[in-house]
């Protein structure tokens, strides 16, 4: 539960650490056994939620059948131990509705819906897109705002309008603009989650309620420690964890497009094959050497 100084938000059960998990591949196919292992590890770390088939889960290169399969297998593997909020976004509203309905039918606890990408809709179009989703399912919707990938910011005024819809419950804030997050938090009761690991503590400081983390694939306990310290009012402890994690977050995600570096890191730790699908390609040797040094410097056990 939040401290008395933090105002209640709409989806408090999702406060804390959510991890955007990768989709493991082996010889070009989904590795279901490895997926279950990763989910077991997150459950053992007591994370709040996992988010499969998002950006980190390589949803753009999954077929529709594969996308639905990963959603179903993730929910089955979680077995009620942790919440599941799969990515169900699309640049076509009808497709996003179809995927979100599938997630709800399979038993997802919420849906993570990225803003429509490539076709650059107007703000009214974005509003109508999310309104259609909120009216189509009973599970809560998390608006995923990442204009660096979609080509269109979901403006704070649009999100504030969306907050009037009961089905819109959360925002994954990945704009990197703290003023935008401040405006949303100040004007709504939406549960705002950081979409950038390194921005987690600043977002918590203005009323954010957690993070959907990439680095949590590697060190969920450390990211959880940051969140727990802040929640307990231990600001000095939260800052120490922020500074410890900052270099890992910066260097890991600065090497290449997500999820290339996180998959490479998991492979170095013996927890994934590291395979990605075209048009994504593995790290260059010099990048891999830098990543190895970063992981060793953090104290992770490289094989």
Q: What is the pLDDT along the chain (303 residues), one digit of tens a residue?
A: 444 456 789 999 999 999 999 999 999 999 999 999 999 999 999 999 999 999 999 999 999 999 999 999 999 999 999 999 999 999 999 999 999 999 999 999 999 999 999 999 999 999 999 999 999 999 999 999 999 999 999 999 999 999 999 999 999 999 999 999 999 999 999 999 999 999 999 999 999 999 999 999 999 999 999 999 999 999 999 999 999 999 999 988 889 999 999 999 999 999 999 999 999 999 999 999 999 999 999 999 986
Domain that holds residue 173: 12-234
Q: Residue 165: CA atoms inside 13 Å, Cβ hemisphere, count?
A: 24
Say if 294 falls within a structural domain. no
- Is 144 annotated as catalytic? yes
Say if 209 falls within a structural domain. yes
Name which of 66, 59, 46, 176 is nearest 112 in CA terms: 59
pLDDT at 86: 98
Say if 208 falls within a structural domain. yes
- On the 0-12 / 13-18 / 19+ scale of CB atoms within 10 A, 14 is buried
Per the structure, the count of domains in the chain is 1
Say if 81 falls within a structural domain. yes
CA distances from 77 to 40, 86, 269 (A): 8, 13, 22
Say if 65 falls within a structural domain. yes
* pLDDT 10s digits, 110-166: 999 999 999 999 999 999 999 999 999 999 999 999 999 999 999 999 999 999 999
Say if 127 falls within a structural domain. yes
Contact 287, 255 (CB under 8 A): yes
CATH code of the domain containing 94: 3.20.20.70
Helix axes 260-268, 285-298, angle to 10 degrees: 60
Determine the number of helices (DSSP H) and then strands (DSSP E) in the chain: 12, 10
N residues, the chain? 303
What is the residue-wise DSSP string for 245-291? HHHHHHHHHHSSSTTHHHHHHHHHTTS------TT--PPPHHHHHHH
* pLDDT 10s digits, 85-109: 999 999 999 999 999 999 999 999 9
- Reported in sequence order, the residue ranges of 9-136 that DSSP labels E, i.e. its strands, are 16-19, 25-26, 29-30, 49-50, 83-84, 111-114
**What backbone phi and psi angles, to 5 degrees, belong to 126?**
-65, -45
- 213 pairs with which residues across the strands? 19
pLDDT at 45: 97
Say if 6 falls within a structural domain. no
The active-site residue out of 7, 105, 117, 144 is: 144
Q: Is the pTM of this model over 0.85?
A: yes
pLDDT at 167: 97
Name which of 239, 180, 242 is nearest 215 in CA terms: 242
pLDDT at 2: 45
pLDDT at 5: 52
The active-site residue out of 172, 224, 263, 298 is: 172
At 192, which helix (H) or strand (E)?
A: strand 191-194
At 203, which helix (H) or strand (E)?
A: helix 200-205
Say if 4 falls within a structural domain. no
């Amino acid at each position: 539960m939040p401290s008395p100084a933090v105002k209640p938000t709409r989806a408090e059960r999702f406060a804390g650490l959510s991890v955007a998990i990768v989709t493991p591949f082996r010889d070009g196919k989904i590795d279901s056994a490895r997926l279950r292992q990763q989910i077991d590890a997150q459950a053992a770390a007591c994370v709040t939620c996992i988010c499969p088939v998002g950006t980190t889960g390589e949803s753009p290169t999954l077929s529709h059948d594969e996308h639905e399969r990963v959603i179903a297998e993730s929910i089955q593997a979680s077995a009620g131990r942790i919440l599941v909020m799969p990515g169900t976004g699309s640049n076509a509203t009808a497709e996003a509705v179809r995927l979100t309905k599938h997630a709800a039918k399979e038993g997802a606890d919420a849906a993570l819906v990225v803003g429509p990408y490539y076709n650059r809709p107007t703000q009214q179009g974005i509003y109508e897109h999310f309104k259609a989703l909120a009216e189509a399912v009973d599970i809560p919707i998390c608006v995923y705002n990442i204009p660096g990938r979609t080509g269109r910011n979901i403006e704070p005024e649009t999100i504030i309008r969306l907050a009037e819809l009961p089905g819109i419950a959360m925002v994954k804030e990945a704009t990197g603009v703290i003023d935008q997050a401040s405006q949303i938090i100040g004007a709504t009761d939406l549960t705002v989650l950081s979409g950038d690991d390194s921005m987690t503590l600043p977002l918590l400081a203005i009323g954010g309620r957690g993070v959907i983390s990439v680095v949590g694939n590697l060190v969920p306990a450390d990211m959880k420690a940051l969140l727990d310290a802040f929640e307990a009012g231990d600001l000095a402890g939260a800052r120490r964890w922020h500074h410890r994690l900052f270099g890992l977050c910066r260097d890991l995600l600065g090497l290449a497009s997500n999820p290339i570096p996180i998959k490479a890191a998991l492979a170095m730790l013996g927890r994934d094959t590291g395979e990605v699908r075209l048009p994504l390609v593995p790290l260059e040797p010099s990048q891999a050497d830098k990543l190895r040094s970063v992981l060793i410097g953090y104290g992770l056990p490289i094989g």
